[in-house]
Structure 1
Amino acid sequence: MLSMHYIQKGLLFKKPPPPNNQKDFIDNLLENLKQSISLALFHFYPLSGRLVTRKTQDPPTYSVFVDCSNDNPGARFIYATLDATIYDILSPVDHPPVVESLFDLDRAINHDGHTMPLLSIQVTELVDGVFLGCSMNHCIGDGTSFWNFFNVWSEIFQAREKGRDAVVSHQPFHNRWFLEGCGPLINLPFKHHDEFTSRFEAPKLRERFFHFSAESIAKLKAKANEEANTNEISSFQSISAFLWRSVTRARGLAHDQKVSCKLAINNRPRIKPPLPKEYFGNSVDVVSTETTVGELLENDLGWAAWKVHTLVVNHDDTEVREMYEKWLESPIVYQLGRHFDPFSMVMSSSPRFNMYGNEFGMGKAVAVLSGYANKFNGNVTAYEGYEGGGSMVLAVSLLPDVMGALELDEDFMNVISVANFANMP
């Protein structure tokens, strides 16, 4: 993950209505946020550290680790203001560029954690709202770790508001997991970080939110299972296959062009014995299934969904260990510009993460948003739907002409609706 961007996700809240004194409200909010972050970092102490590279010449070694000593500068907390409303943020059809300014460490790569904080919280006051933007170094944790931190932070904040000591319900698990006979330091085959880091700049993209109601997802799942003559295909596998076929159709590629669907997949429950859900770190892989444009579009949704389903169920303990063994034999560092091709679609994040359960004295958030980080042509970020009940929102990033073609695809647009950001002013 050293050459990937930080994870950037955040929550948008409405300010309490008048007659609250807005200055007192913000001052109190900032103080409570800082105090609760400080307490949360007691449990998630690696986020207060910095990355350190250790090199030796005889024998030649190159390893990167986290220094959690007390003399580190710690995490960063920023307060900012923006002369914009919630409507300005949520009403455009496309994800507005101004959202990038709601996050610190914009375009930072994880290797920058040698000199930059591993965690930065930016609190941005809007005219009628507050945005809590969190940038976390992706070397330190994956999406599961990120949202567990956010959930614990919220839990501590709410306890403090009620004058109680916080009882953390999901304590992070810090014991590192390695293959037998491996670790704790991994020797990388490099002499300098220029050999494995790069600054990826995405081409001009359009990013748009598409909302899938629980009802539309249930229909897609039923259709996929009926066509595949099974009952094993999940909702997310059905949605992934549906989007894969729709995006491929919109790209207008040659019949024999190879295309792939990639999924970020959580290894915690797949390893034997399984890791705790609270395992703090990266325990995630990217798995891929491939076919040709002709095969994908000439076959039905059930055919594509079964390929995605098979990909997921085959990623078991044996495959996880084999992937890590191969990586150890020839370590690589993922780079966005090199390891994701323009004919793929990559499903990241998860609608299972507890996003809307986080509260900071302003009620339920009205939207979950992300920054510039780790977005490229064909990237899809999955979010929990505001109304719950199995609904989800997918943030899709595509080249402008492909997004335009997708918007004209009746089969696709008849299934989705505009992102349902509830309580928009």
Structure 2
Amino acid sequence: MTPPPPPQSVRFISDCFVKPPQLPPRSNRPLHLPPWDLAMLSVHYIQKGLLFPLPPPCLDPAFDRPAFIRSFLEKLKRSLSSALFHFYPLAGRLATLKGTDPAFYTVFVDCADSPGARFVHAAIDLTVADILSPTYVPEVVQSFFDHDRAINHDGHALSLLSVQVTELADGVFIGLSINHAVGDGASFWLFFNSWSEIFRAQEKGAVDVVQLSRPPVLTRWFPENHPAPLSLPYTDDPSSFLAHYEAPELRERVFHFSAESIAGLKAEANRQCGTTNISSLQSLTALVWRCITRARRFPPSQVTGCRMAANNRARLDPPLPAEYFGNSITPVRTAAMVGELLGGGIGWAARLLHVAVAEHSNAKLREWNEEWIKRPQVYHLDKTFDSYSIMMGSSPRFDKYGNEFGLGKAVALRSGYANKFDGKVSAYPGREGGGSIDLEVCLPPATMAVLEADPEFMAAVTVS
């Protein structure tokens, strides 16, 4: 029997650093980080990217593709430099400030003393279909992102933003790795959207510095009576405070749910509860929580949890602007016994989630910050998120398919190795829009196989 061919690997062609054309005067001051930022120091960078087909002329053997790619990369670098003018912390590095008190140790962003954001050009002998056709996301996609397995504290030495552009035989993948201690998912997509906006403006002849339709708000929010900087509970050796995480063997699959399927789940959840208040995402999350829990085959008495990443910007009083650049998220947890969850129906689970989200108030957010300042701690993927629970991350509300770089609309969104574990689910908008949702589900192989045979779950999945 002929052995299978070896897996394809990425060829790194070049890399450089990109800086903004100029820095504002305030960039000379340390950008101190509040609790929601510092809590992220031991988790991975955010790694998300978009897959674009190349324009048809590029596939003609007579076309000068190398010249097209060179021009494309230069345009990306130019627009990235302009984007960093508005998002200048992403051109910086993390730094440590130590006080005379041995218990005083804080991490901040040094915006001035840095070579800038990293820009990588790579290539691989695969097609767009090779990425999209398999049932499970190919492991090679993880190599489409820089800073593989880095945790945010590594941003002392690594760039806080790295862009990797990977050429495929008939496409391009643009993958971003952004330090999660500097920004959350809303911040990530605000930057991606702004970079795309600048690229399009410069294609039309705009100058290097483009005025954005949604400029970021870079001033960090700190709880009242607790000004910056905030101290962390370690001195010269942070190893006991931080940890690198290695994920178990996981299958990763993207399931598509049409707008009609989502509407049906929402209607059924609200019907079972006799209400109209349960949202589409709460209904879908209830389905996923129930079905993954059933696939894990836990005993009825086992407690299982569901966490949902909640954007806190509008929940604070006074609220933060939607363009607040930083972390303003906390996981909202709901728990139940397996027997109750599986015996109560989708409405029963959705009501639990709805109540938890409704109770996630300004008072709770301020209490969380006060408790953190008294007892600082960071998230650890192997401790914060247990194997009896699921975690719903990202959001279908972010504008992910509105990013175009002269290549038209992306055909798919994919993510890297970062922040994946047994039970991690990420919600993305479906490419066709209209309320459709894609769920990126990470489970061990055996659990994934049971989920794929679950009639309740697969009845809601839309096969394209």
Q: TM range, normalised to the smaller chain?
A: over 0.9
- Match status 1:374 vs 2:419: yes
Which residue number in structure 1 is paired with residue 272 of structure 2?
Answer: 227
Work out which of the residue numbers 319, 338, 346 in structure 2 matches 1:274.
319
Distance 1:57 1:163 in 2: 53
Measure how far apart 1:224 and its partner are.
0.2
Which residue number in structure 2 is paired with residue 300 of structure 1?
Answer: 345
- Match status 1:162 vs 2:201: no
Alpha-carbon spacing, 1:58–1:328, altered in 2? closer, same or farther (3 Å): closer
Measure how far apart 1:59 and its partner are.
5.7
Q: What aligned pairs does 1:283-294 form with structure 2 within 5 A after superposition?
A: 283-294=328-339
| 2:196 maps to amino acid | S
Distance 1:363 1:263 in 2: 32
Distance 1:337 1:353 in 2: 27
Which residue number in structure 2 is paired with residue 331 of structure 1?
Answer: 376
Measure how far apart 1:314 and its partner are.
0.7
Distance 2:443 2:176 in 1: 24
Measure how far apart 1:58 and its partner are.
2.7
> Equivalent residue of 2:460, what SS?
coil
Cα shift readout 1:365-388 (whole Å, capped 9, x = no counterpart): 000100000000000011110000
Work out which of the residue numbers 34, 37, 40 in structure 1 matches 2:80.
37
Unmatched 5+ stretches in structure 2: 1-39
Which residue number in structure 2 is paired with residue 395 of structure 1?
Answer: 440
Distance 1:203 1:78 in 2: 28
User: Is the CA contact 2:92–2:110 (under 8 Å) kept in the aligned structure 1?
Assistant: yes
Which residue number in structure 1 is paired with residue 30 of structure 2?
Answer: none
Measure how far apart 1:167 and its partner are.
3.0
Measure how far apart 1:88 and its partner are.
0.5
User: Is the CA contact 2:41–2:378 (under 8 Å) kept in the aligned structure 1?
Assistant: yes
Which residue number in structure 2 is paired with residue 53 of structure 1?
Answer: 96
Work out which of the residue numbers 23, 47, 57 in structure 1 matches 2:66.
23
Work out which of the residue numbers 114, 129, 132 in structure 1 matches 2:174.
132
> Equivalent residue of 2:47, what SS?
strand
Measure how far apart 1:141 and its partner are.
0.2
Alpha-carbon spacing, 1:162–1:219, altered in 2? closer, same or farther (3 Å): same
Measure how far apart 1:45 and its partner are.
0.4
Q: Structure 1 vs Structure 2: percent identity of aligned residues?
A: 57
> If the length of structure 1 is used for normalisation, what is the TM-score?
0.97
49-58 or 279-288: which moved more? Answer: 49-58
Distance 2:157 2:46 in 1: 17
Q: CA RMSD in A?
A: 1.0
Distance 1:395 1:160 in 2: 34
Which residue number in structure 2 is paired with residue 254 of structure 1?
Answer: 299
Cα shift readout 1:184-216 (whole Å, capped 9, x = no counterpart): 111111122102111111110111110000000
Which residue number in structure 2 is paired with residue 171 of structure 1?
Answer: 215
Cα shift readout 1:211-255 (whole Å, capped 9, x = no counterpart): 000000000000000001110000000000010001011110011
Which residue number in structure 1 is paired with residue 115 of structure 2?
Answer: 73
Distance 1:295 1:120 in 2: 45
160-169 or 194-203: which moved more? Answer: 160-169
> Equivalent residue of 2:390, what SS?
strand
Measure how far apart 1:22 and its partner are.
1.4
> Equivalent residue of 1:304, what SS?
helix
Which residue number in structure 2 is paired with residue 242 of structure 1?
Answer: 287
User: Is the CA contact 2:147–2:177 (under 8 Å) kept in the aligned structure 1?
Assistant: yes
- Match status 1:265 vs 2:310: yes
User: Is the CA contact 2:428–2:439 (under 8 Å) kept in the aligned structure 1?
Assistant: yes
Distance 1:111 1:193 in 2: 9
Distance 1:135 1:102 in 2: 10
Which residue number in structure 1 is paired with residue 255 of structure 2?
Answer: 210
- Match status 1:13 vs 2:58: no
Which residue number in structure 2 is paired with residue 115 of structure 1?
Answer: 157
Measure how far apart 1:57 and its partner are.
4.1
| 1:111 maps to amino acid | H
Distance 2:384 2:279 in 1: 27
Distance 1:306 1:140 in 2: 33
Which residue number in structure 1 is paired with residue 192 of structure 2?
Answer: 150
Cα shift readout 1:105-153 (whole Å, capped 9, x = no counterpart): 0001100000000000000010000000000000000000000000000
User: Is the CA contact 2:50–2:412 (under 8 Å) kept in the aligned structure 1?
Assistant: yes
Which residue number in structure 2 is paired with residue 423 of structure 1?
Answer: none
Measure how far apart 1:183 and its partner are.
2.5
| 2:315 maps to amino acid | R
> Equivalent residue of 1:269, what SS?
coil
> If the length of structure 2 is used for normalisation, what is the TM-score?
0.89
Measure how far apart 1:355 and its partner are.
0.5
5-14 or 22-31: which moved more? Answer: 22-31
